Amino acid sequence: MPEHSRTTVPAPGFAFRPYRGEADHPDILRVRLACRDGGGIDPRSVVEPLPTAREVAEVAAAPGDPRRDQALVTHEGSVAGYITLTSWRDQDGTDVHLHRGWLVPALRGRGVGTAMVRWAEERVAALVRAHGTADRACFAANAADAEPASVALLTGLGYRRVFGVTEFERPDLDGLPPLPGALPGGARLRRARESHYRPVWEMIRAAYADSGHVGGWDFEAFARRAEPAHWQVAWAGEQVVGAALLVQGHGGSGVGEVRELSVRKDWRRQGLGRALLISGLHALARHGTREVRLFTGSANPYRSWELYQNAGFRRIAEFGRYRKPFDGA
């Protein structure tokens, strides 16, 4: 099997095979639906959302060779799971190689999860050696606290939790705080346009400049995912000083999302973030959104969770981000 692991062997009856393109997308979606329905996964989560057919295709079309950077797991000839690899450079210079795997719940507990991690590590090792980046590379994986078997699998293979992500929910938009009047510091809202994407992106990048575990924020991906209809962007003159990027729920779910809330460092502690958030929640409510979710780092140094809780959000889940140093494996 070219470019795929020759040493990792899954359990009897299972095999790895390369991704074959669009024909595999229905099976990938079927696996994700099975994991949602039988694995205790929150179907409305914005941290680990169920992908649409379009999103499956976008992942396959991402930079890199999808036939080498993902693989399908078969059981007696039928697709039972799959693995994807994604890489980026954190702002602290670490090359992060994230592997994510899904296996239908009925076939777990047979050692296949371990084989999937080993496949991913071997593939990453080949990439790292080819690029000569072993000194700054690490393996990475995610696991929700509500999935103890996944946590145990990763920790048993030498991964350690380096940070966490907390998901918050505001289950309804009744009783919102009143719309803010004038924004703090004389900032003004302007309707978001495509020409504003880059200054908004640059402000967000600058806001995270001192956060080590942040990466994957390339402008092209940001612009491709942009949905500015309900963005609340604050300007001071021609400079973006804060932004709340809110979007309506997809597929008629009625679940909106706060994808980002950032304020320039020299504009913090003035109430601008709260004003933008409340303004955005009102905008979603006017257009029929019933529930809103968001997530933030559990160890966020700016204590943004306090702002969210004061705005009526409650914690609903914790997700661990795990890493393991590359040791030449």
Give the pLDDT confidence of 273-312 residue by residue, as tens digits: 999 999 999 999 999 998 999 998 876 666 788 899 999 9
Answer yes or no: is 6 within a domain. Answer: no
pLDDT reported for residue 52? 77
User: In this structure, are 238 and 159 located in the same domain?
Assistant: no
User: In this structure, are 150 and 251 located in the same domain?
Assistant: no
Tens digit of pLDDT for each residue in 69-118?
889 999 999 999 999 998 888 878 899 999 999 999 999 999 999 999 99
Q: Supply angle C-alpha 289, 295, 300, rounded to 5.
A: 145
Number of domains composing the chain: 2
User: In this structure, are 22 and 149 located in the same domain?
Assistant: yes
Rounded percentage of the chain residues whose pLDDT exceeds 90: 64
Answer yes or no: is 196 within a domain. Answer: yes
Tens digit of pLDDT for each residue in 226-242?
999 999 999 999 999 99
Answer yes or no: is 1 within a domain. Answer: no
User: In this structure, are 187 and 125 located in the same domain?
Assistant: no
User: In this structure, are 35 and 143 located in the same domain?
Assistant: yes
User: In this structure, are 129 and 197 located in the same domain?
Assistant: no
pLDDT reported for residue 68? 67
Could you tell me the CATH number of the domain that includes residue 19? 3.40.630.30
User: In this structure, are 140 and 274 located in the same domain?
Assistant: no
Answer yes or no: is 104 within a domain. Answer: yes
Tens digit of pLDDT for each residue in 193-215?
999 999 999 999 888 877 655 55
Answer yes or no: is 298 within a domain. Answer: no
State the amino acid at position 266 in one-letter form.
Answer: D
Answer yes or no: is 5 within a domain. Answer: no
Answer yes or no: is 311 within a domain. Answer: no
Taking each helix axis from N to C end, the angle separating 148-156 and 112-131, rounded to the nearest 10 degrees, works out to 50
The predicted model scores a pTM of 0.85
Cross-sheet strand order for the sheet of 95-103: 14-18, 70-75, 78-89, 95-103, 137-144, 314-325, 160-170, 291-297, 255-263, 239-247, 232-236, 188-189
User: In this structure, are 205 and 139 located in the same domain?
Assistant: no
pLDDT reported for residue 207? 86
pLDDT reported for residue 118? 95
Tens digit of pLDDT for each residue in 144-171?
998 899 999 999 999 999 999 999 999 9
User: In this structure, are 159 and 24 located in the same domain?
Assistant: yes
Q: Give me the domain span that covers residue 246.
A: 173-289
Answer yes or no: is 200 within a domain. Answer: yes
User: In this structure, are 191 and 234 located in the same domain?
Assistant: yes
User: In this structure, are 36 and 156 located in the same domain?
Assistant: yes
- Between residues 58 and 31, which one has the greater pLDDT? 31
Own/partner long-range contacts of 303-309 (Cβ < 8 Å, ≥24 apart): 304/261, 304/273, 305/166, 305/168, 307/261, 307/273, 307/274, 307/277, 308/168, 308/277, 309/168
CB 215 within 8 A of CB 208: no
25-39, 49-63, 159-173, 290-304, range with the lowest pLDDT: 49-63
pLDDT of residue 269 exceeding 80: yes
